[in-house]
Chains A and B, each alone.
Chain A
Amino acid sequence: MRPRIGYLIPCTIALALAIDAGTRLIPIDLFAFRAWEALIVAHAPTGPFEPDRVYANPLTYGDLARAPRYAALRQHHFEYFSTDAWGFRNTPQAAAGPVRWLLIGDSFGVSSGVRDADTLASQLARWSGERTYNASSYLPLPVNDIRFTSERVGAQGGLVIYEYMERQFLPGAGAGVDMRVFTSGPPRPARSAGERLRVLGKEATVSRLGILAGWGRDAIAARLGSPSLDGGASQPGELPTAGAELANGATMLFFTGDVEVTRDPAREIPPDYLIWLRDELRKAHLELAVLIAPTKYQVYGPLVRTPGAPRPSDAPLRRLADALNARGVFAVDVTDALRRQAAADLARHEYVYFLDDTHWNERGIETAARTFVDARRRAGRTGRHSSDGDRRARLARVDRASTMNRADR
């Protein structure tokens, strides 16, 4: 029979629809290069990620190297990412509560790209001996979510650590006072039919065929010779990326937004919101501390030897820390510590941020956590379990939990 265009075209549309619909049932993990993308699609109403999930990927790599033209710069490593029943990144041990420290932050607080035992919350716990609940999300939670979460995990009277990353926008005092990002729960049992259907439905909204087509497009674009380290020419959904050569000869990728944000020494980061938040949390008998995290370019900019690369300025971060401390908000800027560690490690080709990612790695997280805990200790604000014996006992428990977590893998 002669093929007629009047049938071929609608059949093509129907076939594309069938393939698209069919492939949406394939597990999304197969299409994600790291946990973040895989777990936010079906995030719980109560938290930022899919609840009660473990994502393990032995070949994850950085967000900046997602485009095929940066494939040669990918640093493959292992990522193990667990979420609790509420959808926050916590191991079952950390979520078991009660806790004394509550970490709220963004993807740096979530600690994208590292294993559960190496997250900022895990390392704060390890270095302080305080059980720390990781309530980090896409952005730090507003005050009502913090209050609710602190009650939920039994952290009343404890410490809220606000991880502020240099690129974050800080709103004015009173922002989000009437807001709740997540619902109060209780969380649905992960194995219930309703929850499974919800997750399936949410994940089905992502077209796997679209992802495959995007890969194909990227591969073609890479073959057509798109410039590789020009800081531009990004495809939809891809971070604008620039590559630079470090003093040890290694190529490091940077998010161009990070380069931009660190250029202006006169940039003002208003402390008003954090001061207001401190006052609000005090009403709930919670103490606020701020951990100021620099962008990758803030740390590695001074070590870049690419001609014409702009020098980053940490003056805005220092001013923020000073302003907060002057107003009685305990704040630690970990920029200096990270810069020192980065410079010391450079000759050994060790780093505190992933070469191919916007985020810090376990070494950088450890440096930040240790710097923060040391500063707390020097200020005599180590928390309830401040005696050495107590701390040793808690450290041992946390380490056991981390070991169990590693054994799980």
Chain B
Amino acid sequence: VLFNSFVFLYLFLPITYFVFWRLTSRNARYVWLAVTGYVFYAFWNPKFCLLMAFSTLVSYTAGLGFLRWQDVGRRRLCLVVPIVVDLSLLAFFKYFNFALETVRWIGGQAHVTVPIEPIDIVLPVGISFYTFHTITYIVDGYRGVITPTRNLFEFACYVSLFCQLVAGPIVRFRQIEGDLDRIDTAARGAMRDSAWSFFALGLIKKVLIADTIASLIDPLLAHPRSLPTLTAWGCALGYTFQLYFDFSGYSDMAVGLGRLFGLRLPQNFASPYKARNPSDFWRRWHISLSSMLRDYLYIPLGGNRGGETRAHRNILITMLLGGLWHGAHWTFVAWGGYHAALLSLHRLTARAWLRVPTPLQVAATFVLAVVGWVLFRAESFTRASDWLHAMFSWRASDAASPALWMAILVAAIVSFALPNTFELSHDWRPLPALALTALFSAAIFVMYAGHQSPFLYFQF
């Protein structure tokens, strides 16, 4: 079930909301949110609920181990075993065929036949997200950053919370621990305005902007080789904004839904296209992932410590793995490598970069991000190469699409000139409130017209 579906809006959300606020005890609310999370997940494939339950139990048990044992050996066991289990599940479901295909390809190059055929594996939706939820919980428990919970219902509620279950934000336990503790005393109306404001803005971003752009660029990108230069750039810009409005729209809806239940989810996007350099971009784009990669991979690898060479190596490893997290395809790895190169280059030229006028810094960072999204969007290196070739070799345009450029203009104005959703007060005056409601109604209208589409980040 999608946030932008009628089953969710008319059935799932009202039932979840009204029953939740009828319940009074903390455990009843935990159980209800956990159950609704599993119901939400079961809309895709009920069988995979067992996988999530297994992952939850393993991580919960590890948390109990941290509470019980203080000796390093056992604590390390409680750290390693559940992480290995979680990552093994992720590796199998998401990367097994990818690894096998790679080995077969290498074997083919060396004229060696690898006698294993790819197997038919269904990727459980959101496994990348809830696996990271549990891993951050285990690592934070091991480090003593959090006190693991003894309450299984609370932990199950945290892992399977429907609003962040399948596409994030990747919420660390410590980020909503306080709200979970106070879940029985939360006031129903306290965050009502901001909750619905976030939700409405997210739906508008997703349905009116991202999906409109998608409908305009997807047919063009079926044959990137034949694109005229301007159209190729239009597609690249279009996808740049589509991805941002799609994912940040989803994140806003998740934040709004969390607030409806008294839970404050963290910010996931902070106007990333206003970034002044690649490092700044990654502090603003998919913040919950980039900060996780920083805290749980880059810094443990050594971070900036140990000299420049090690820092560049750590950046490269972190970004390559970050790229791979997005999908089992070498184009994602290449995209990660591209951003690693940008980050390293910026690290080397940071002082000189500061002397560049700010608008130029923003423009250059934006264009570099746009080029990177070509790798991210293309289904293969051949298509990426065709698309990039079309962008960087002049071919006159014969059929410019005014609708696409209009959509890009609107998206650019929203991205560059307006505050992001976390910068808004959400205390709308009457006229803007009515205007927002009108846009929300338009989004509902478009949903009725059959434009419901999955959120892009579900595939990751």
A interface residue numbers (CB < 8 A to B): 2-6, 8-10, 12-13, 16-17, 20, 207, 209-210, 212-214, 216-217, 224, 232-233, 235-237
B448 cross-chain contacts in A, Cβ below 8 A = 16, 20, 207, 209-210, 212-214
**13 cross-chain CB contacts under 8 A:** A3-B430, A3-B434, A5-B193, A5-B197, A5-B437, A6-B193, A6-B196, A8-B437, A12-B437, A20-B448, A216-B445, A216-B449, A232-B219
A2 cross-chain contacts in B, Cβ below 8 A = 430
Q: How distant is A62 from chain B, measured CB to nearest CB, in Å?
A: 21
17 more A-B residue pairs beyond the given contacts A3-B430, A3-B433, A9-B437, with a C-beta to C-beta distance below 8 A: A5-B196, A5-B428, A5-B436, A6-B195, A8-B436, A9-B197, A12-B440, A16-B441, A16-B444, A16-B448, A209-B448, A210-B448, A210-B449, A212-B448, A217-B446, A217-B451, A236-B451
Query: Nearest residue in B to A4 (C-beta to C-beta)?
Result: B193
CA distance A216 to B444 in the complex (A): 13
From A4, A216, A224, contact of B403 by CB (8 A): A224
Residues 132-150 of B, flagged 1 when their CB comes within 8 A of A and 0 if not, give 0000000000000000000
Q: How distant is A236 from chain B, measured CB to nearest CB, in Å?
A: 5
Known: A5-B436, A12-B440, A17-B10. A236 touches B450 (CB 8 A): yes
A214 near B449 (CB under 8 angstroms)? yes
Query: Nearest residue in A to B429 (C-beta to C-beta)?
Result: A2
A8 near B444 (CB under 8 angstroms)? no
B196 cross-chain contacts in A, Cβ below 8 A = 5-6, 8-10
A13 near B9 (CB under 8 angstroms)? yes
A9 near B440 (CB under 8 angstroms)? yes
CA distance A21 to B449 in the complex (A): 16
A8 near B449 (CB under 8 angstroms)? no
From A213, A233, A237, contact of B446 by CB (8 A): A213
A214 cross-chain contacts in B, Cβ below 8 A = 448-450
Q: How distant is A256 from chain B, measured CB to nearest CB, in Å?
A: 14
From B6, B433, B446, contact of A8 by CB (8 A): B433
Known: A5-B193, A207-B448, A224-B403. A12 touches B433 (CB 8 A): no
Residues 195-207 of B, flagged 1 when their CB comes within 8 A of A and 0 if not, give 1110110000000
B193 cross-chain contacts in A, Cβ below 8 A = 4-6
Q: How distant is A205 from chain B, measured CB to nearest CB, in Å?
A: 12
CA distance A207 to B449 in the complex (A): 10
CA distance A232 to B223 in the complex (A): 14
CA distance A20 to B197 in the complex (A): 23
Q: Does B192 contact A (CB under 8 A)?
A: yes
Q: How distant is A125 from chain B, measured CB to nearest CB, in Å?
A: 41
From B6, B433, B449, contact of A217 by CB (8 A): B449
Residues 206-229 of B, flagged 1 when their CB comes within 8 A of A and 0 if not, give 000000000000010000000000
A207 cross-chain contacts in B, Cβ below 8 A = 448
A217 cross-chain contacts in B, Cβ below 8 A = 446, 449-451
Residues 430-460 of B, flagged 1 when their CB comes within 8 A of A and 0 if not, give 1001101100110011101111000000000
Query: Nearest residue in B to A212 (C-beta to C-beta)?
Result: B448
B446 near A13 (CB under 8 angstroms)? no
Q: Does B274 contact A (CB under 8 A)?
A: no
CA distance A216 to B437 in the complex (A): 19
